[in-house]
Structure 1
Amino acid sequence: MTLLHWTLPLPAGYRRDDVIAFHSRDTQAVAEQVTQKGLRKGILLQGMPVVLDVALTDDTAICRAEIDGETAQHMPALLHGALLNILGLRIDPQPFMQQVAHDPLMAPLTRINPGLRIVQSASPFEALTWAIIGQQINLSFAIALRRTFILQAGRQHSSGLWCYPEARDVARLSIDDLTSRKFSRAKAETLLRLARLVDDGQLSLELAESDGVKLISQALLAVKGIGPWTVNYALLRGYGYADCSLHGDVAIRAALQQLLGEGAKPDMARTEQWLRQYAPHRTMAAAHLWASLHAPEKNMPQEGE
């Protein structure tokens, strides 16, 4: 085993409890474990099982990577990127808070949840597969399917924690492997289609330096079974893109209905138009709208009805 150690400074007002809550949704803790000091998360990187062990203090993340193998080229940079994701450090919430400081509707929401952040999946592939798995089913069932997916396609770290699979691992599965474990055929086909395209090199999930978000969005929309909501959710949870428009999300529309005090949810077109005023910080607008619902999430966010 190879061990790597490093630290990350945490911004003032960092909301540790939000990060812990996000990574403790699966009570069986097959791939993420909450500890007294922070969390442990299993991932596969360049084919090697890795556990990220993170202790969170008031102002610092003390990080250790436990790698089942030798450190490969680019591994430290990949580990650092995954850490930024799982700790919600990609998007600075302050620019949005400044933008809406005098907004009569959004300013009160930011005062209720100052410093709210978007916690992400460790990688774009994890975010995409999670979006596909959880689409249009309740959250508890989605978490159970995700657990099954990890146990089928992932690999176990020497510590016993399971590691979320990479595309090459998922590509080895068959449709029957998934449908026999309560995946719908449509979900199974989309998951395998995505994994095989990525594994074959036909689809890159790397952001290009120029027009990266536009290009990756177009490439993903060309994959059968992936629609605009899945793309936007992946941009948010996988890439930390600051200007996602989640107008197709039922929960966003419900929160906007509540915020506006109206009797019915606004449709997608009106929601999209309303969110435009918060560009280029629409991701944080969505985060505060989600948070404004207050109740625990009963269903995965869904595309428009």
Structure 2
Amino acid sequence: MPLQQISIELPEGYRSADVMAFHGRDAEGVAEQVAPGRIRKGVVLDDIPVALDIALAPRRATIDIDAGGALTQRASQLLDDALLNILGLRIDPEPFLRASAGDPLLGPVVQRNAGLRIVQSATIFEALTWAIIGQQINLNFAIALRRTFIVQAGRQHASGLWCYPEAADVAKLSVEDLTTRKFSRSKAETLLRLAQLVDDGALSLERSDDIEHVSASLLAVKGIGPWTVNYALLRGYGYPDCSLHGDVAIRAAFQRLLGEDSKPDMPRTEALLARYKPHRTMAAAHLWASLNTPNEQS
């Protein structure tokens, strides 16, 4: 029997299929298991392995929480934060839907995909490590590396579900633990450097509204560049105004919408995204989604 069960009301028009698609990217999921109307997710919260079993109904999510015992106050706070991320409830899509209604380029795309939400990684550390793992390699290889990373550094819950590791878990690894499992040396070194800084307290991953400070702190870590920071701000911090102008898929989406022969370069992409301030995160989500829908002309 689960230790605890909680219920979260979901907004009208909530698109549970989008949420399940995000968490079901790995068909062999070791830390996430997705079935119709259900997501199982393993996380480590304040050094406690926790299995979450989330049942999604049209207007309500019911979550069974199995921590093998009582959660600490800190773990309970982290759990509340993680559920907002996992369920895509941190950024309300309605303001961007209204703001983009008259936009000739992206407006029709947004209207066709109204209700799209930004689903996030359970924790900021998970978002950052995924950004490092996935950068500059194809998605299938990135997913396989992530799976390896979870099994190497994570902890297995009593239910059998693996829990995505905390920084302290990753800091125990060596570079060779990763490079012998198909990680490049630069990825391995960056992952371990990040984990050690967080574990030592030299780098804080507490949620903050001071995005400039957060960005500067992350950029100071060797191996972390602007794309990784912006992705972490989007998938981890839930910052609503990330500029993903360095993302190849964003540039490809603009090329498609503009009907041009080549992708816009990064400065032009940055300028195109600037018109959607302060909603550039939602703009990015709709641009990504547009690559998977027919290119209808308005």
TM-score in same-fold range (> 0.5): yes
Give the aligned residue type for 1:73.
Q
Give the aligned residue type for 2:23.
H
Conserved 8 A contact 1:2-1:71: no
Larger displacement relative to structure 2 (81-90 or 61-70)? 61-70
- In structure 2, the residue matched to 1:258 is 256
Conserved 8 A contact 1:207-1:213: no
Number of matched pairs: 293
Which of 273, 276, 292 aligns to 1:275? It is 273
Aligned-residue identity in percent:
68
Q: Distance in 2 between matches of 1:172 and 1:268?
A: 38
Q: TM-score normalized by structure 1?
A: 0.94
Deviation (angstroms), 1:27: 1.1
Q: Distance in 1 between matches of 2:163 and 2:109?
A: 36
Q: Distance in 2 between matches of 1:29 and 1:274?
A: 36
- In structure 2, the residue matched to 1:192 is 192
Secondary structure of residue in 1 paired with 2:160: coil
Larger displacement relative to structure 2 (156-165 or 18-27)? 18-27
- 1:1-44 superposed Cα distances (whole Å, 9 cap, x missing partner): 97122111111111111111111111112111113431110000
Q: TM-score normalized by structure 2?
A: 0.96
- Report whether the alignment pairs 1:51 with 2:51: yes
- In structure 1, the residue matched to 2:17 is 17
- In structure 2, the residue matched to 1:116 is 116
Give the aligned residue type for 1:258.
R
Q: Distance in 2 between matches of 1:191 and 1:91?
A: 28
Secondary structure of residue in 1 paired with 2:4: strand
- In structure 1, the residue matched to 2:227 is 229
What RMSD, in angstroms, separates the aligned Cα atoms of the two structures?
1.2
Q: Distance in 2 between matches of 1:232 and 1:46?
A: 26
- In structure 1, the residue matched to 2:182 is 182
Q: Distance in 2 between matches of 1:146 and 1:68?
A: 26
Deviation (angstroms), 1:264: 1.2
Deviation (angstroms), 1:98: 0.4
Deviation (angstroms), 1:290: 0.6
Secondary structure of residue in 2 paired with 1:278: coil
- Report whether the alignment pairs 1:70 with 2:67: no
Runs of 4+ that moved beyond 3 A: none
- 1:153-196 superposed Cα distances (whole Å, 9 cap, x missing partner): 00000000000000000000000000000000000000000000
Q: Distance in 2 between matches of 1:234 and 1:12?
A: 28
Give the aligned residue type for 2:227.
W
- In structure 2, the residue matched to 1:84 is 84
Q: Distance in 1 between matches of 2:125 and 2:190?
A: 13
Conserved 8 A contact 2:155-2:164: yes
Deviation (angstroms), 1:68: 2.6
Distance 1:258 1:36, change over 3 A: closer
- In structure 1, the residue matched to 2:214 is 216
Conserved 8 A contact 1:130-1:146: yes
Secondary structure of residue in 1 paired with 2:3: strand
- In structure 1, the residue matched to 2:42 is 42
Secondary structure of residue in 2 paired with 1:132: helix
Q: Distance in 1 between matches of 2:123 and 2:211?
A: 15
Deviation (angstroms), 1:243: 0.2
Secondary structure of residue in 2 paired with 1:226: coil
- In structure 2, the residue matched to 1:125 is 125
Conserved 8 A contact 2:101-2:111: no
Conserved 8 A contact 2:48-2:75: no
- In structure 2, the residue matched to 1:146 is 146
Give the aligned residue type for 1:225.
G
Deviation (angstroms), 1:147: 0.4
Secondary structure of residue in 2 paired with 1:269: helix
- 1:214-246 superposed Cα distances (whole Å, 9 cap, x missing partner): 111000000000000000000000011100000
Give the aligned residue type for 2:231.
Y
- In structure 2, the residue matched to 1:298 is none
